[in-house]
Amino acid sequence: MNQRPKPQLANMPKRALAGLIAAFAIAPAGCTAGFGQAPGASSIRVQVVQGDVGTATKRLPITFTDATRFTVRIEALGADGKPDGKFSGFVRLSTKPGTIFQMAGGGVRGRNVQLSGGVAEGVVVDLVATYGDSRIWAEDVGYAPSGADKPRCSDGVDNDNDGLVDFPTDPGCAFADDDTENPGGFATGASETLFFQYPRIADVRGVGQGGAATPFPKEQVQIDTGYDRGENKFNHSLVVTRIASDGFYVTDIDDPRGYTSIFAYTFNPPARLGVCDRLVTLSGTAVDFFGFTELSFPAWSVEERVCKKNGDALECNRPCFVPEPRVLALTDLANLKEKLRASASLVRVESKGDVEVRIAQHFGKGDAPKDGGQYSFTNEASNCDFNRNGRVEFDRPDEAECSNACDKDPECVEWSAFAQRSDFELVIEEKRAAQGSRSVKVQANATAAPDFDVLAARGKPLRAYSGTLRYFSDGSQFTIEARCQDDVVADMGASPKASDQACVFPRLDTDNNAGTQ
């Protein structure tokens, strides 16, 4: 698996975060009158004249396909805060957080609108992927769109004699079709608050777009955890399902849409967090790491699950809400969309009825032999890393051919993948006398279950194998990663532990909570 660079920033300290919030809190209360006004500079007033802006207690739904429409009035203001009827330039509109899908009205050019006599009336703004407390912003960026073949920002001439030529080199050029190299006055203004719902995990995962990617790439998002601070209750619950070596997994247990789990990357195991904890707040930067949507630089607060011993029994302040793993059928494992839907969630494959789960048996460190022009694999020879440099190189024809042949062999585990990353293959086979048998493979990793001897179990059936499902788009690989020994049930006569017990290490009231799982 790709090695990540070590982050250079830690979670923002609470004191610094409080200072940032305070800085916004003491900004001019009339946000429609502009922000950051410098002496002699103008500002911009943005007024919503049509459209429901919602309230803090009755928020608008997030939309991804059907835009939410507002009509705004934009007015330039002088340094004295009074209307500036002399301003006739363009201002650029944006929304944060969110996206402007399209604009319409007199003077509109793309995301820009020209003011006439200092005013633009009836500007229609359609928003998508807008969430939380958002605003429509207007800024004078010095944009003068041109219909000429060679606008000044694309004509190869230093028109303002500043030593810089054209977009994007000249900072006075807002865009390539800008007909002036002079920067704008950077007058800025924002509308009143637009109150949208916060996204749930499924929204961040892109459930509205098929779940292939987040609709908030590289954006800081605050996730709706279901916690109502005013009522001090949870309307729905986000529960920690796994503590990993580099982060944690969390599932929205009350959302039926799928795509309800996400990984939060913390580089190291998060201290003071445990399986069964329920999140009160969760935020972070949404990123697609090789196709796997996750949160980087996350921040969170939790309702801890704390237990105390009463003789041999444990008494806890509340139940553990970790959901039972989703049992993946052969049809699920053969369906990319279903695997994406379940990624980051707890899943399970199990031997039951006509279905048998076993570790692939063609699995050994010897080089795969080639017989009759075809690579074949045995229990002792499945290595395709012929130059022994630790990986299969697909620009080497022999190694690429060998690896592709292993992928097609239902019983093959490529040795170098196991040697480097401890990855192996589970075979899920359905045996029916009338229809014959059919099987699929899925990659697995049992690093967190060190007592399980993968090599000794080659070709043998397993009662059940559980874990979090991780996706890595380089090779379209899905991997079931066991969380601990409880997730691997080799004894065919045994049953998997219940989800409120498997890989749960209760936090006791006598613990200092540091590093608990």
Least confident of 184-188, 376-380, 481-485: 184-188
Among 89, 117, 119, CA closest to 105: 119
Work out the pLDDT band at 271, boundaries 50, 70, 90: confident
Radius of gyration of the chain (CA): 29
- Distance in Å from the first CA to the final CA of the chain: 24
For residue 39, the model assigns a pLDDT of 33
pLDDT attached to residue 146: 76
Q: How far from the centroid of its chain's Cα atoms is residue 170's Cα?
A: 35
Residue 462 has pLDDT above 70, yes or no: yes
CA pair distance 233, 227, nearest whole angstrom = 6
pLDDT at 388: 92
Q: How confident is the model at residue 209 (pLDDT cuts 50, 70, 90)?
A: confident
CA–CA dist 215, 200 (Å, integer) = 12
What is the total residue count of the chain? 517
**C-alpha span between 85 and 75 (Å, rounded):** 9
Residue whose C-alpha is closest to residue 209's, from 129, 321, 317, 127: 129
Q: What is the pLDDT of residue 181?
A: 84
Instruction: Estimate the share of the chain in helix, then strand, then coil, as percent rounded to the nearest 5.
Output: 10, 35, 50
- Residues of the chain within CATH 2.40.50 domain(s) are 201-316
How far is Cα 327 from Cα 181, in angstroms, rounded to an integer?
61
Q: Has residue 515 got a pLDDT over 70?
A: no
In this structure, the dihedral spanned by the alpha carbons of residues 267, 273, 278 and 282, taken in order and rounded to 10 degrees, is -40
Peptide bond into 97 cis (omega under 30): yes
| Residue 249, strand partner residues | 242, 263
Does position 180 have pLDDT exceeding 90, yes or no? Answer: no
pLDDT 10s digits, 230-268: 899 999 999 999 999 999 999 999 999 999 999 999 999
pLDDT level of residue 201 (50, 70, 90 thresholds): very high
> Looking at residue 434, what is its pLDDT?
67
Q: Is the pLDDT of residue 480 over 70?
A: yes
Per cent of the chain over pLDDT 90 is 70
Nearest to 272 by CA among 510, 502, 485, 511: 511
CA distance linking residue 68 with residue 193, whole number of Å:
14
User: Fold for domain 201-316?
Assistant: OB fold (Dihydrolipoamide Acetyltransferase, E2P) (2.40.50)
Model confidence pLDDT, tens digit, residues 428-451:
999 876 677 889 999 999 999 999
Q: Looking at 58-67, 197-206, 207-216, 280-289, which range is the least confident one?
A: 207-216
Tokens of 54: 């919602």
Phi, psi of 495, deg, nearest 5: -125, 150
Contact 479, 362 (CB under 8 A): no
Range from 26-40, 154-168, 260-274, 496-510 carrying the lowest mean pLDDT? 26-40
Q: Where are the alpha helices (DSSP H) in 277-382?
A: 330-333, 336-342
Q: Which pair of structure tokens corresponds to residue 200?
A: 């749930």
Confidence of residue 208 (pLDDT cuts 50, 70, 90): confident
Do the Cβ atoms of 24 and 18 come closer than 8 Å? no
Residue 272, pLDDT score: 85
Tell me the H-state helices in 120-177: none
pLDDT of 105-120, one tens digit each?
Answer: 999 999 999 999 999 9
Q: What are 299-316's pLDDT values in tens digits? A: 999 999 999 998 888 899
| Chain mean pLDDT for the chain | 88
509: pLDDT strictly greater than 80: no
**Closest by Cα among 173, 148, 138, 139 to 159:** 173
The b/e string for 33-63 (b: 16+ C-beta within 10 A; e otherwise) is bbbebeeebbbbbbebeebebbeeeebbebb
* Residue 475 pLDDT class (50, 70, 90 cuts): low
Comparison of pLDDT for 67 and 32, the residue scoring more: 67
Is the pLDDT at 21 greater than 80? The verdict is: no
Mean pLDDT of all residues in 335-353: 95
Question: Among 242, 43, 67, 206, which residue's Cα sits nearest to residue 137?
Answer: 43
Asked whether the CA dihedral 125, 131, 135, 137 is positive or negative, the reply is negative
Query: According to the model, what pLDDT value does residue 429 have?
Result: 94
Which residues, 6+ apart, have CB-to-CB distance to 226 below 8 Å?
234, 235, 236, 237, 238, 252, 254
**294 near 287, Cβ under 8 Å?**
yes
- Mean pLDDT value across residues 481-485: 97
* Check whether domain 30-142+182-195 has CATH 1.10.240.10, yes or no: no
Residue 35, pLDDT score: 40
Which part of the chain has CATH 2.60.40.10? Answer: 30-142+182-195
Q: Which amino acid is at 341?
A: R
Between 200 and 149, the more confident residue is 200
Query: What is the pLDDT at residue 512?
Result: 64
pLDDT score for 142: 86
